Amino acid sequence: MRLVFLGAPGVGKGTQADKAAAHYGICKISTGDLLREAVRNQTPLGLEAKGHMDRGGLVPDSVVIGLVREKLADSSIASGFILDGFPRTVPQAEALAKVLNERGLHLDRVINFEVSRKEIVRRLSGRRSCPKCQATYHVDFAPSKMGNACERCGEALTQRSDDQREAIEMRLRVYEEQTAPLISFYEKQHVLSHLNGAETVDAVSQNLLQMLATYQTA
Ligand code: AMP
């Protein structure tokens, strides 16, 4: 299975990509995770990306396309992959098609996760994570039993700089302007399916796997 998970920030793409990747035994490739790792390791790429990410803007296409191109060259993607958070612009989608085409591959399905703006803001603004072990929490849906400390390692929890109110507004604006056009881009290629992402994690996951099963046997 070669899949793209599309949708605004906060729709749950990453969580669902983890679950589906485990279910199918395939790789999840998250450009957000790759970029955050580069920022943590203070690599030249991380230093370039940090300012864009903190503001809630997009990292330049050439940078993320290079990252994904490298990942797709890896033998670990032989049985499939889920791209989470990539592509986010039409030039990225065109570059992805080119890279796959060069390898004689194509996308099986693009899943567009739909969640209301109000719910997205609630989800993103309540997210917390552990800077030491990367465990994630949510103040309403999955609070740490240790208050503002990590249950696993005791470290003080932090909020991603791009989950602060102004950056959230910016990310949603960027999504509307640059990423939402991918819906019609993939619709025209007849590979797009819409999925309601507003239900519980388990319900969305069940609906997703049911939907994907119909394409596996098709
Ligand atoms: P995410 O974890 O997917 O919400 O990504 C966090 C941030 O990383 C985004 O707000 C962007 O600044 C950057 N980023 C992730 N994926 C991309 C991409 N495909 N293109 C450009 N920037 C990206």
pLDDT along the chain (218 residues), means of 10: 96 95 95 92 92 92 93 88 97 96 93 96 94 92 95 95 89 96 97 96 96 79
Burial category of 194 from C-beta neighbours within 10 Å (exposed 0-12, middle 13-18, buried 19 and up): middle
Catalytic pick from 19, 36, 71, 171? Answer: 171
The CA 217 to ligand 1 mean position distance, Å, reads 33
Ligand 1 pocket test, pick from 5, 30, 36, 58 with the greatest ligand atom count within 8 Å of Cβ, gives 58
Topology at the third CATH level for domain 2-26+79-117+179-216:
Rossmann fold (3.40.50)
Catalytic pick from 28, 88, 123, 128? Answer: 88
pTM of the predicted model, to two decimals?
A: 0.90
Phi, psi of 29 (to 5 degrees): -115, 105
